[in-house]
Amino acid sequence: MRSIEMNRKAIHTLEDWNPFEMTDFTYDTEAADVVAALQYIDDPSELGKVIQNIYEQSFEQWIPIEKCIDISYKLLAIKFEAKCIL
């Protein structure tokens, strides 16, 4: 899987996640920031904290770290699959 495909899959995963359960809304800016962080972070806890911070800054709402770490595992699985690390 190429980097572009990995990024698309990660963005789709984040859109499906929809942490604030908004209808007819996309998290384009936040997804782009998370995918950028995904490029250099391999630790699910660290990525979860970054995700939590990105969404909190945008929406001024807190997401429990457990939910952020759960999505970080899914994103890291996409990343490792793309790099054939599994």
In this structure, what CATH number is given to the domain that contains residue 70? 1.10.340.20
The pLDDT of residue 85 is 56
The predicted model scores a pTM of 0.90
d(CA 48, CA 64): 10
Q: How far is CA 6 from each of CA 1, 53, 61, 76, rounded to the nearest angstrom?
A: 7, 22, 28, 10
pLDDT tens digits in sequence order for the chain, 86 residues long: 578 899 999 999 999 999 998 888 788 999 999 999 999 999 999 999 999 999 999 999 999 999 999 999 999 999 998 877 54
The pLDDT of residue 1 is 55
Instruction: Measure the CA angle with vertex 36, ends 67 and 63; round to 5°.
Output: 20
Q: How many domains does the chain have?
A: 1
Q: Which domain holds residue 58?
A: 3-82
